[in-house]
Amino acid sequence: MSIPHTGQFHRHQAYVTKVGTSTTVRLTSYQSVVADFIPSVNNSKNHVILYPRWQYSVSTVRQVTRFISECSGMWYNVDELRKLAKQQTNGLLPISGNCLFTFSNEYPRG
């Protein structure tokens, strides 16, 4: 698992920032917050929160999948993320590899 450094994310129109003083890192793409990654504590699952605009464009989806893959140390693709979103819609817990996913209908505060 390798948390990306803060700043511009791989020459994209995306940026990684730390959230406050926590270990949470946030991906902002085209001025919109699209994902948070909260590393595991005490060998629990990492927590990934995807916000409403995570599927805004093809390049945003590419940024999100690369961000999650780099943070978690596991490879994720858009098909798997969409399958996990459907699981949440159906009331199932969307867990894949070492991550628990939350697909939020709201944007983060602050």
Q: Are strands 99-103 and 46-50 parallel, antiparallel or unpaired?
A: parallel
Is 1 part of a structural domain of the chain? Answer: no
Whether residue 48 is contained in a domain is answered as yes
pTM for this prediction:
0.89
Identity of the amino acid at 25: V
Where does the chain have alpha helices with state H? Answer: 58-72, 78-89
Q: pLDDT (tens digit, 9 = 90+) per residue, 45-57?
A: 999 999 999 999 9
| Within a domain: 110 | no
Q: What share of the chain is helix, strand, coil (3-state, %, to 5)?
A: 30, 30, 45
Mean pLDDT of 18-39: 91
- Number of domains within the chain: 1
User: Domain for residue 108, yes or no?
Assistant: no
Whether residue 47 is contained in a domain is answered as: yes
In a domain, 57, yes or no: yes
The residue range of the domain holding 36 is 7-103
pLDDT band for position 71 (50/70/90)? very high
Closest of 45, 49, 29, 53 to residue 37, by C-alpha: 49
Predicted confidence (pLDDT) at residue 21 exceeds the cutoff of 90: no
Output the pLDDT for position 37: 95
Distance separating alpha carbons of residues 77 and 82, to the nearest angstrom: 9
